[in-house]
Amino acid sequence: MRYVVESNKTPDQAVTDLKDCVKKHGFGVLHTYDLKETLASKGFDLPDACHILDVCNPQQAINVLSEDMGMNIALPCRVSVYSESGKTKLAMARPTKLLEALSDSTELALIAKEVEEKLTAMIDDAA
């Protein structure tokens, strides 16, 4: 269900490089969450870095929503950059598995496969 790649980069550098890769592959970053910072503002200490990027390809989003508007619960795609045991990792939930769990649509399965291939390439390139 998960795709995880380890990187020798710092989490901040991996986030910067991932943003560049997202753009290079025709997607955009809608929002970036810094969970460590957000939790600290609420009085909680997260010991490791954790960034979540909401990424989207507008055409693929329209394709998914035109097929089944209820699939908005699976959009946008999320890619995480985090540190764990001193190692930086980039990860995502596989769109193919996510949509497979939510729908039997053959069309959605094809879209999810295309999106997953792009996201995997972005993660690999950024790592």
Query: DSSP readout, the chain?
Result: -EEEEEESS-HHHHHHHHHHHHHHTT-EEEEEEEHHHHHHHTT---SS-EEEEEEE-HHHHHHHHHH-GGGGGG-SEEEEEEEETTEEEEEEE-HHHHHHHH---HHHHHHHHHHHHHHHHHHHHH-
pLDDT tens sequence across 73-114:
999 999 999 999 999 999 999 999 999 999 999 999 999 999
- pLDDT score recorded for residue 60: 96
pLDDT tens sequence across 36-81:
999 999 999 999 999 999 999 999 999 999 999 999 999 999 999 9
Structural domains for the chain: 2-126 (3.30.310.70)
**Cβ atoms within 10 Å of 99's Cβ, excluding its own:** 24
pTM of the model: 0.93
- pLDDT score recorded for residue 35: 97
